[in-house]
Amino acid sequence: MLAIGTAFLVPSGPAEYLHLNIVGTAQIEPPDMRLLIPISSIKDGVFHDQTCVLDVGEHPFITKPSFVFYRHIQQRSATKISMCLENGDFIAKDSASEALIAKIIAGIPASNFTAPWVLNFFQN
């Protein structure tokens, strides 16, 4: 079972591009689905959502200032995520702390970039 806070790296773009994703919901309808919340590093001169900026060390994988990429929250099957973790497509990392999860979740309604369909999961 994929619990809230489960964290792993997902390839995005060239092979060396791996982004931290954190499971943000225990379960959504249909029951096998989870919301994945992506984290990205802040790059000089590139716009980023400032709703939830993460400092170095807030998660062991975060080694430079980063932000929660609310615009790119995705819905994915827990079964598929588990298969990708088992076969090495995704790389497991330490789970996010309760404090980090709370900080990230608090930013969902605050961000101007959170999609309406994502907000619906947290309003019910």
* Spans of all domains in the chain: 7-96+112-123
Assign 56 to helix, strand or coil. coil
Mean pLDDT of the chain, nearest integer: 91
ω before 116 within 30° of 0 (cis)? no
pLDDT, tens digit, for every residue of 44-98? 999 999 999 999 999 999 999 999 999 999 999 999 999 999 999 999 999 999 9
Contact 71, 113 (CB under 8 A): yes
Mean of the pLDDT values across residues 16-38?
Answer: 85
Sequence length of the chain is: 124
Angle between helices 116-123 and 98-110 in degrees, nearest 10: 120
